Amino acid sequence: MRILRPHGLIGTAVAVVLLAVAGCSGGGSDDAAGGAFAKVSTKFGEITIPSEPKRVVALGWGDAETALALGVEPVGASDWLAFGGDGLGPWATGRYQQAPKKIGTLEPEYEQIAALEPDLILDTKSSGDQIRYDTLKAIATTVGVPTGGDSYKLSWEQQTEMVAAALGRVEQGRKLIAETKERFAKTVAANPEFAGKTIVLGSRTSEGYGAYVNGTGRVDFVERLGFTNSPKVQALATSGFSIKISQEKLDLLDADLTVMAPIGVDAAKITGDPLFQKVPSVKAGRVVVFTDKTLSSAFATDSILSIGYALDKVVPLFATALR
């Protein structure tokens, strides 16, 4: 995924074609005829799943991993971080018996989705765009973002709850959440120095620097560890999941701990930047710059499966930098 890139809208002509395709294939609706298998509350209203899903397409970031954690193999899935193969990080590999059809991320191939004849589409961690949702809904019953979940503002916990509800596996989802919370509690107890420390979670892309704001998975992860997202960054937050930071204002990256991820660029674009080196926390050595894509991807994905990997591999980097 390219951070700070706006989501494109599909053209009206394409939407009309897809509506026709969905109509011919008997695409799902939000209303169940008779009893409901499950209901899920979303930004787009309460979604009714009429029967147990058999052919699931997982489009939202982390939706496929969440479904797999619950024992359901999507027939189609998006590879948000270009892992290749099954579209999964090392924390989730080996869970497919049959590889899914790869679907695009920001602008999914709706014709390919319709061809898979899904009975449920998961798009819980997504842009929240109305046209995207309406187009998917015309193909099959779609569980979109929750209220307040636009711009990928969805935690691993809420994502697990929504996907578990849609798949009729609520108790299994609760168990996974409880186990993950216990791992967080143990990590917090082992790292009391995190409590109350400010943190900046930044990135650099080909377009420049940015930093993440409250409501996003990355920030949720560190807040659960006891950190406080930088008030200076948070004061500039808009409805998006991040803010842009100009070269002239790189001091916004200063905090008790600065964590940076290169996205689509080499890490040297960060570490070799003289202006970045002048940021007080960087100059003092209280900085983590991800050079291993696997680590930054685990931290970024923030799914029920990637969380454990991040707790094991990423948290020690934070502790070392603070000390």
Give the model's pLDDT for residue 227.
98
| Full-model pTM | 0.83
CATH among 3.40.50.1220, 1.10.287.3240, 3.40.50.1980, 3.40.50.300 for 188-322: 3.40.50.1980
pLDDT given at position 323: 86
Domains 38-171 and 188-322 share a fold: yes
pLDDT tens-digit readout, 92-142: 989 999 999 999 999 899 999 999 999 999 999 999 999 999 999 999 999
- Tokens read off for 26: 């008997």
pLDDT beyond 50 at 29: no
8 A C-beta contact, residue 199 and residue 257: yes
From the number of C-beta atoms within 10 Å of its C-beta (0-12, 13-18, 19+), residue 229 rates as buried
Average pLDDT of the residues in 300-306: 93
- Confidence (pLDDT) at 149: 92
Q: What is the mean pLDDT of residues 150-168?
A: 95
pLDDT digits (tens, 9 = 90+) for 50-62: 999 999 999 999 9
Q: What is the arithmetic mean of pLDDT over 142-150?
A: 96
Looking at the structure, give the CATH architecture of the domain made up of residues 38-171. Answer: 3-Layer(aba) Sandwich (3.40)
Chain-centre distance for alpha carbon 267: 22
